[in-house]
């Protein structure tokens, strides 16, 4: 046996095993580092204030005035807006959940055409929400839209004006929400 490694460590003592601790340093930014830090924080702080802090503060300030509630309820657009919101949330969320449950079992089958459908199903997950909704808008925009063009070419039917009718627009929004809502995948 050569060296006696354990014996050497024991003879050297605990200082050889544990290096000495350094006191914690507090790094403060100085000079150009401080300027760069401020340059990166200021845009974030401005966006946070403009789109989060100010709207929440303004909403709380407006909520403290009871007269605004009477004005809101008296507004003729209030009731249709509440109905649209309830329909959108009620139909959109429930239909999306129901379809997700159905499709989760459907996509477990291993056939080629089911795999093709899975690619279509995953398409909104791969697209950003803005691009998906813009593409849906272009499909339904009217005569130059894809849906109206297909209806005209295949069946000779004049297309609908999707966004001028309240119920067609609400239905289109609900369907696009359901389609794009599968962003979390199957």
How would residue 15 be classed by pLDDT, with cut points 50, 70 and 90? low
Do 55 and 87 sit in the same domain of this protein?
no
Do 139 and 102 sit in the same domain of this protein?
yes
Q: Which residues contact 149 (CB under 8 A, 6 or more apart)?
A: 143, 159
How would residue 186 be classed by pLDDT, with cut points 50, 70 and 90? very low
Do 178 and 98 sit in the same domain of this protein?
yes
Asked if the structure places residue 70 within a domain, the reply is no
Rounded (10°) CA dihedral 42, 47, 49, 50: 130
Asked if the structure places residue 151 within a domain, the reply is yes
Do 82 and 60 sit in the same domain of this protein?
no
Contact 185, 118 (CB under 8 A): no
Do 57 and 145 sit in the same domain of this protein?
no
Q: Which two tokens stand for residue 46?
A: 């401005």
Do 56 and 127 sit in the same domain of this protein?
no
Which region, left, alpha or beta, applies to residue 3 given φ > 0 means left and ψ of -120 to 50 means alpha?
left
Asked if the structure places residue 9 within a domain, the reply is no
Q: Is the pLDDT of residue 182 over 60?
A: no
Determine how many CB atoms are found less than 10 A away from the CB of residue 88. Answer: 15
Give residue 108's domain range: 77-184
User: How far apart are the C-alpha atoms of 127 and 131, rounded to whole Å?
Assistant: 7
Asked if the structure places residue 21 within a domain, the reply is no
More confident residue, 185 or 181: 181
Asked if the structure places residue 108 within a domain, the reply is yes
**Residues 26-37, buried b or exposed e (16+ Cβ, 10 A)?**
eeeeeeeeeeee
Identify which of 102, 94, 84, 100 has the alpha carbon closest to the alpha carbon of residue 171.
Answer: 84
Identify which of 83, 89, 98 has the alpha carbon closest to the alpha carbon of residue 177.
Answer: 89
Asked if the structure places residue 5 within a domain, the reply is no
pLDDT of residue 185: 44
Give the domain CATH number at 173.
1.10.3720.10
pLDDT digit string, tens, across residues 38-82: 999 999 999 999 999 999 999 999 999 999 999 999 999 999 999
Do 171 and 84 sit in the same domain of this protein?
yes
DSSP sequence for 84-99: HHHHHHHHHHHHHHHH
Do 33 and 86 sit in the same domain of this protein?
no
Do 172 and 88 sit in the same domain of this protein?
yes
Question: How many domains does the chain fold into?
Answer: 2
């Amino acid at each position: 046996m050569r060296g006696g490694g354990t014996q050497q460590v024991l003879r050297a003592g605990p200082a050889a095993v544990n290096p000495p601790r350094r006191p914690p340093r507090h790094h403060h930014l100085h000079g150009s580092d401080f300027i760069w830090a401020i340059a990166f924080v200021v845009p974030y702080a401005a966006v946070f204030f403009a789109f989060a802090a100010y709207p929440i503060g303004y909403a709380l300030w407006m909520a403290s005035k009871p007269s605004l509630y009477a004005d809101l309820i008296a507004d003729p657009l209030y009731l249709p807006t509440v109905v649209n919101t309830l329909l959108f949330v009620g139909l959109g969320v429930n239909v999306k959940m129901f379809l997700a449950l159905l499709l989760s079992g459907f996509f477990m089958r291993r056939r080629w055409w089911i795999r093709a459908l899975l690619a279509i199903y995953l398409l909104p997950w791969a697209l950003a929400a803005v691009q998906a909704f813009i593409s849906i808008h272009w499909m339904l925009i009217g005569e130059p839209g894809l849906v109206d063009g297909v209806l005209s070419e295949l069946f000779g039917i004049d297309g609908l004006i999707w966004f001028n009718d309240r119920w067609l627009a609400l239905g289109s929004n609900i369907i696009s929400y359901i389609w794009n809502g599968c962003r979390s995948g199957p």
